[in-house]
């Protein structure tokens, strides 16, 4: 079993920055694709960003140019650098890992992922 532990959330003013981290521990015997999702109160969980094992990245339109996803394979860790934050970015952010299996990677779909972090709150004040 794999556990994902998130950190880096908090309260920030609009225009500010935060960096989220998500590290995997436990029986990490596989290669992973990694993603970030977020969920605002009363809303569905939505895709934010993903990074494939190869390093290819994907972003939802609303965060392009502001957020950067990266990874450190040696540490089994994924990061989300969030700049120019807006109040509408306020949400609980969840990291997710997908075991690479050679099949098509539907990076924006929740069922694709095998492991999820506990969530970390990001609040952006106006």
CA 45 to chain centre: 12
Tokens of 55: 């390093």
The radius of gyration computed from the CA coordinates of the chain, to the nearest angstrom, equals 14
Residue that is written with structure tokens 């950067």 in the block: 68
73, 67 in Cβ contact below 8 A? no
pLDDT in tens, the chain (126 residues): 899 999 999 999 999 999 999 999 988 777 999 999 999 999 999 999 999 999 999 999 999 999 999 999 889 999 999 999 999 999 999 999 999 999 999 999 999 999 999 999 999 999
Compute the half-sphere exposure of residue 59: CA atoms within 13 Å on the CB side of its CA.
13
Mapped onto helix, strand or coil, the DSSP state of residue 50 is strand
């Amino acid at each position: 079993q794999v556990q994902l532990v998130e950190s880096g959330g908090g309260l920030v003013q609009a225009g500010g920055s935060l960096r989220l981290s998500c590290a995997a521990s436990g029986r990490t015997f596989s290669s992973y694709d990694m993603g970030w999702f977020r969920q605002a109160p009363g809303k569905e969980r939505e895709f934010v960003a993903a990074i494939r094992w190869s390093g290819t990245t994907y972003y939802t339109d609303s965060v392009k140019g502001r957020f950067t996803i990266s990874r450190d394979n040696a540490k089994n860790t994924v990061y989300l650098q969030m700049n120019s934050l807006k109040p509408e970015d306020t949400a609980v952010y969840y990291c997710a890992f997908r075991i690479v299996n050679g099949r098509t990677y539907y990076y924006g779909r929740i069922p694709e992922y095998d492991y999820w972090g506990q969530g970390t709150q990001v609040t952006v004040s106006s």
